[in-house]
């Protein structure tokens, strides 16, 4: 079967799988439409068990040689991979924007550089893993980070390049070989990523990409039965399904899931900075798992703060994500748009009041107005469920105990944001909010060295820094009795 390509944003991209160092086609294809303007982007190969089996086989065969290279041996490949991502920054940014509607400027200046850093950073970090020794009275413990084998990486559409490289980087640096299943709603940059890895000289079979629908390709992958790791970013419901497959084959699984993060604004906060940051939650139309979507404001400053947020939100221009003045682009698909609109309608029916927004934007088909709901009961769906759209709720609080209880009053625990200029108070509240990440007087700052993940229904495990290597390695202790070697002391 002839290999297929599509041209997206002027960039020619393979629409096939990448397995064992070559393009592999499928007779089944799925249609990929752009959320930006509804245009047809590609018919992408729709994989299933045969393609997954080929990819896992290829990864299994490639594993011993890749693992044997060690961190130093893998470093030059991964540096070239990172350089290749940087060299194609414009293409990657433009394609990502057409594919998932994210802001082009953000993709160019933040996402693509970060994707390159994801590869480079973990390649460097891997050099530090060897030689850990823990001394005990009778033995010397030599801690080894052994590559685990074949890792399956499954990623979502809201930030495919960023979130896929965030897994690919440490998984490859740790010496694993990979099967990546990109999101079917935005599969194109992962296809380019495979080309870039190939051009960097990464050997055949080390990084495989199987395109396809979650319930088909993804399902075949997680049920393959001979994987060593599954790393997943996506929805909580999908994680429950994948978790069952992982449990059946005793495959370690890491998952980063949804959120309904609190955004706490204390009366002593820098209100201008806080208001700008609240408005920033509308970026990428709120399709950001980390977004602080529940604004919790200290009652004494409600009126003054609301005026500031209203002003900041009025600058959140809805429009074409290729335009540098746009702050809020489209929702990803009609299906998702209807889901977001459904949340909004039910919130109104429950009695919430939309202070602004609350309906589709007067632009394109899939664009929704930035929305703020007040008079929200914390028990209502709109304050409990992840909307994944440009929709914030507004509640007030009168004591720290109250805000901590409300902040912790959902099933999620991914992130939180807190604005206060009182250090003792900020740290007291921050330490009591259940979240993988709590940002104080800032938002979205993510050093690659720090742990990242969610508590409760927002995830299992942590990745980032050493935590990525804890997950992607088989950690072994070689415990040697002191003085037991005749040639030298252990
Ligand atoms: P989102 O709501 O962010 O789209 P999903 O959990 O539906 O989250 O999708 C995230 C990723 O999981 C996508 O790559 C999707 O194809 C994949 N996926 C969806 N369902 C399954 C499944 N049953 N098994 C494996 N992967 C799946």
Q: Which of 394, 300, 320 is nearest to 354 (CA)?
A: 394
Q: How far is the CA of 219 from the centre of ligand 1 (A)?
A: 9
Alpha-helical segments (H) within 40-103: 49-68, 70-87, 89-100
Protein residue closest via CA to atom 16 of ligand 1: 214
Of the residues 256, 298, 386, 463, only one is catalytic, namely: 256
**What pLDDT is stored for residue 113 in this prediction?**
98
Q: What is the mean pLDDT of residues 330-351?
A: 98
Q: For 128-132, 147-151, 160-164, which range has the lowest pLDDT when averaged over its residues?
A: 128-132
**What pLDDT is stored for residue 245 in this prediction?**
98
Confidence check: pLDDT of 2 > 60: no
Query: pLDDT confidence of 288, banded at 50, 70, 90?
Result: very high
Q: Is 156 in the pocket of ligand 1 (CB under 6 A)?
A: yes
Atom of ligand 1 nearest to the CA of 181: 14
Looking at domain 5-257+454-477, which CATH architecture does it have?
3-Layer(aba) Sandwich (3.40)
**What pLDDT is stored for residue 3 in this prediction?**
74
Q: Is 223 in the pocket of ligand 1 (CB under 6 A)?
A: no
pLDDT tens digit sequence for 7-61: 999 999 999 999 999 999 999 999 999 999 999 999 999 999 999 999 999 999 9
Q: How far is the CA of 183 from the centre of ligand 1 (A)?
A: 7
* CB-based contact 419:398 (threshold 8 Å): no
**What pLDDT is stored for residue 399 in this prediction?**
98
Share of the chain above pLDDT 70, in %: 99
CATH code of the region 262-440:
3.40.309.10
How many beta carbons lie within 10 A of that of residue 2, not counting itself?
7
Q: For the whole model, what pTM was predicted?
A: 0.97
- The domain segmentation of the chain, as residue ranges, is 5-257+454-477, 262-440
Q: For 129-133, 215-219, 324-328, which range has the lowest pLDDT when averaged over its residues?
A: 129-133
Protein residue closest via CA to atom 20 of ligand 1: 214
Q: In sequence order, which residues have a C-beta less than 8 Å from that of residue 134 and are 6 or more positions away?
A: 140, 141, 143, 477
Q: Is 259 in the pocket of ligand 1 (CB under 6 A)?
A: no
* CB-based contact 44:184 (threshold 8 Å): yes
Domains 5-257+454-477 and 262-440 share a fold: no
Q: Is 388 in the pocket of ligand 1 (CB under 6 A)?
A: no
Q: What is the mean pLDDT of residues 55-75?
A: 98
The C-alpha atoms of residue 84 and residue 174 are separated, in whole angstroms, by 20
Q: What is the mean pLDDT of residues 76-104?
A: 98
Protein residue closest via CA to atom 23 of ligand 1: 215
Annotated catalytic, 266?
no
First vs last C-alpha separation in the chain: 59
pLDDT tens digit sequence for 205-260: 999 999 999 999 999 999 999 999 999 999 999 999 999 999 999 999 999 999 99
Alpha-helical segments (H) within 228-280: 236-248, 271-280
Q: Is 160 in the pocket of ligand 1 (CB under 6 A)?
A: no
Instruction: Give me 433's structure tokens.
Output: 């909010």
**What pLDDT is stored for residue 487 in this prediction?**
81
Annotated catalytic, 289?
yes
pLDDT tens digit sequence for 150-208: 999 999 999 999 999 999 999 999 999 999 999 999 999 999 999 999 999 999 999 99
pLDDT, averaged across the chain: 97
**What pLDDT is stored for residue 111 in this prediction?**
98
Rg, C-alpha atoms of the chain:
23
Q: Is 249 in the pocket of ligand 1 (CB under 6 A)?
A: no
Q: Is 154 in the pocket of ligand 1 (CB under 6 A)?
A: yes
Q: What is the mean pLDDT of residues 388-414?
A: 98
Atom of ligand 1 nearest to the CA of 239: 6
**What pLDDT is stored for residue 362 in this prediction?**
96
Q: For 128-132, 266-270, 341-345, 429-433, which range has the lowest pLDDT when averaged over its residues?
A: 128-132
Q: How far is the CA of 270 from the centre of ligand 1 (A)?
A: 39
Q: What is the mean pLDDT of residues 347-354?
A: 98
Top mutation candidate among 234, 243, 385 for ligand 1, by most atoms within 8 Å of CB: 234
Query: pLDDT confidence of 452, banded at 50, 70, 90?
Result: very high
The C-alpha atoms of residue 367 and residue 360 are separated, in whole angstroms, by 6
Q: How far is the CA of 246 from the centre of ligand 1 (A)?
A: 15
**What pLDDT is stored for residue 130 in this prediction?**
82
Of the residues 96, 190, 289, 298, only one is catalytic, namely: 289
Between strands 150-154 and 229-233, the pairing is parallel
Q: What is the mean pLDDT of residues 287-294?
A: 98
Protein residue closest via CA to atom 3 of ligand 1: 234
């Amino acid at each position: 079967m002839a290999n297929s390509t599509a041209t997206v944003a002027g960039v020619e991209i393979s629409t096939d799988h990448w397995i064992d160092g070559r393009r592999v086609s499928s007779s089944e294809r799925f249609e990929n439409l752009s959320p930006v303007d509804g245009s047809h982007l590609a018919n992408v190969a729709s994989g299933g068990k045969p393609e997954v089996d080929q990819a896992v086989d290829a990864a299994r065969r490639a594993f011993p040689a890749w693992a044997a290279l060690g961190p130093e041996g893998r470093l030059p490949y991964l540096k070239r991979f990172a350089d290749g991502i940087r060299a194609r920054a414009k293409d990657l940014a433009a394609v990502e924007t057409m594919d998932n509607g994210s802001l082009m400027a953000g993709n160019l200046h933040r996402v693509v550089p970060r994707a390159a850093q994801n590869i480079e950073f973990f390649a460097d970090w891997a050099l530090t893993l060897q030689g850990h020794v823990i001394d005990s009275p009778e033995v010397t413990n030599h801690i080894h980070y052994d590559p685990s084998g074949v890792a399956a990486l499954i990623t979502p559409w809201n930030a495919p390049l960023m979130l896929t490289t965030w897994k690919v980087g440490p998984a490859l640096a740790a010496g694993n070989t990979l099967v990546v299943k990109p999101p079917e709603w935005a599969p194109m940059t992962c296809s380019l990523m495979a080309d870039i890895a190939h051009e960097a000289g990464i050997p055949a079979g080390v990084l495989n990409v199987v395109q396809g629908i979650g319930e088909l390709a993804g399902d075949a992958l997680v049920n393959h039965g001979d994987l060593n790791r599954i790393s997943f970013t996506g929805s909580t419901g999908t994680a429950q399904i994948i978790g069952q497959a992982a449990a059946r084959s005793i495959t370690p699984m890491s998952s980063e899931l949804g959120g309904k993060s609190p955004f706490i604004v204390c009366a002593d906060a820098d209100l201008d900075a806080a208001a700008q940051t609240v408005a920033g939650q509308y970026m990428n139309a709120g399709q950001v798992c980390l977004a602080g979507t529940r604004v919790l404001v200290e009652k004494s400053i409600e009126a003054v703060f609301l005026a500031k947020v209203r002003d900041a939100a009025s600058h959140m221009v809805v429009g074409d994500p290729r335009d540098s003045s746009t702050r809020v682009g489209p929702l990803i698909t009609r299906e998702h748009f209807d889901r977001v609109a459904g949340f909004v309608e039910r919130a109104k029916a429950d009695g919430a009041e939309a202070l602004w927004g609350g309906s589709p934007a007067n632009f394109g088909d899939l664009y929704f107005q930035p929305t703020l709901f007040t008079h929200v009961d914390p028990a209502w769906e709109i304050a409990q469920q992840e909307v994944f759209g440009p929709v914030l709720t507004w509640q007030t609080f009168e004591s720290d105990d109250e805000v901590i209880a409300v902040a912790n009053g959902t099933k999620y625990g991914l992130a939180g944001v807190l604005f206060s200029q009182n250090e003792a108070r900020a740290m007291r509240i921050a330490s009591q909010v259940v979240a993988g990440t709590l940002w104080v007087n800032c938002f979205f700052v993510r050093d690659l060295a720090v742990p990242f993940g969610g508590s409760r229904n927002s995830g299992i495990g942590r990745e980032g820094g050493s935590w990525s290597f804890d997950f992607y390695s088989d950690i072994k202790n070689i415990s040697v009795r002191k003085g037991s070697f005749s040639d030298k002391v252990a």
